[in-house]
Amino acid sequence: MEVKAHMKRLRYIIWVCTVFALSCGPQLSMEEKLVEAIQNGDKDSISKLIEQGVDINKSVTEYGESPLLVAIVSSDNDMVSFLIEKGARSIPAPPNEQWNDTCITTALALNKMDIAENLITHGIGVDARNRQGSTLLIRTSCKGYTKLVKLLLENSKIDVNQRCSQSGVTALDRAKAHGHAEIVRLLLEAGAKE
């Protein structure tokens, strides 16, 4: 009789432990909680995580994405602003083909011009070069992004004559080659040399 009672208690304990384990689910790391909070737009949780010591300027996903990059990919400009306000800066994007080289180039690749404008206005990653050695000014001049070129010239201390480290072209060279007359004018006014 005692063995039956003991087995019954043991089955009950196993059942309780199983129910408890299933109800709790897997425990998330602070970085995973941060990613989840960013994707859910939960600013209170983000603030608490920062207070608890999570670093918003380091990679937080298995793919090497920064919190800022997670917000950009989520197309959440308000969250981008919030993270910048909390001290987030651009860190190099993961070295794979899924993402571009910086937060701004990722925003551009995703056609998130409002986010790119926000990043430029805050000086986030404006002086970074991509894998081919082009500056953001060269890339935006080439693509004809007049508003972004203007923002770059107004909000940063960029050398308008800086050359691509691989090809040697300048922003002015690219703007001329692609027929972007307004950008050519802006660059010349900013001191670009022909």
Question: What pLDDT, in 10s, does the model give residues 48-67?
Answer: 999 999 888 887 777 777 88
Mention the CATH class of domain 1-125: mainly alpha
The DSSP element (H or E) to which 109 belongs, if any, is: helix 103-109
**Residue 183 · residue 144 · CB < 8 Å:** yes
Q: Which pair of structure tokens corresponds to residue 60?
A: 């937080």
Average pLDDT for the chain: 81
| CATH number at 129-194 | 1.25.40.20
Residue 132 reports pLDDT greater than 60: yes
- Return the higher-pLDDT residue of 15 and 28: 28
pLDDT beyond 60 at 17: no
In the chain, which residues fall in CATH 1.25.40.20?
1-125, 129-194
Q: Maximum CA pair distance of the chain?
A: 98
CA atoms of 186 and 188, how far apart (whole Å): 6
- Please report the pLDDT score of residue 8 as a whole number: 58
Question: Is pTM beyond 0.75 here?
Answer: no
Q: Which is more confidently placed, 4 or 74? A: 74
Q: Compute the residue count for the chain.
A: 194
Q: Is the pLDDT of residue 129 over 70?
A: yes
